[in-house]
Amino acid sequence: MLRPLYLLIFKLTGWKTEGEFPHHLKKYIIAVAPHTSNWDFVFGIMTRSIMKIQTAKFLGKDNLFKPPFGWFFRAVGGYPVNRFKNSDMVQQVVDIFNDHEKFILGLAPEGTRKKIEKLRTGFYYIAKKANVPIVPCGFDYAKKIIIVGVPFYPTDNFKSDIDSLLKFYQSITGKNPSLGL
């Protein structure tokens, strides 16, 4: 519905997309990094529509889903999570994947917009336990390009898999470069 508007915004502001989401796959995780700004959410919503993956959902901190804006975040595909509650978040999300025939989840592996030293690993273990691929994606603000990588299934070599992801994200400049990986 808003796709023509988003395409116009991208055209007027000089943004482009590179790569394709795997439309033939019914389930996968879109791992977006570096996550350095609230603008990443806005670009994520627009990109989801432009690249025709409207079914993609996202996890968000639970206080975003409270009034007055909770209805909005649910309407655009959000699932609230309590980041501080001691619960098996990985298994909860794996269960969501297992309960749906088609489920695409976009998330930021850093889990925050603050400076971090390493990626959080929950997304990796969700993909491994749910047997779904990870599709790396980055919003390069310096080049004004949304970059979509090739899907891959996590292997039994955690270090190698994470190193591959970090290599993909290494050349991508977030909105606030000092906060990037």
Q: Is the pLDDT of residue 15 over 60?
A: yes
In a domain, 54, yes or no: yes
In a domain, 6, yes or no: no
**Considering its fold, how many domains does the chain have in total?**
1
Q: Is the pLDDT of residue 140 over 60?
A: yes
Reported as a single tens digit per residue, the pLDDT across 17-68 is 999 999 999 999 999 988 888 888 899 999 999 999 878 898 877 888 999 9
Q: Is the pLDDT of residue 116 over 60?
A: no
In a domain, 2, yes or no: no
In a domain, 34, yes or no: yes
Among 11, 2, 58, smallest CA distance to 32 is for 58
In a domain, 180, yes or no: no
Do the beta carbons of residue 25 and residue 150 sit within 8 Å?
no
Q: Which domain holds residue 133?
A: 19-173
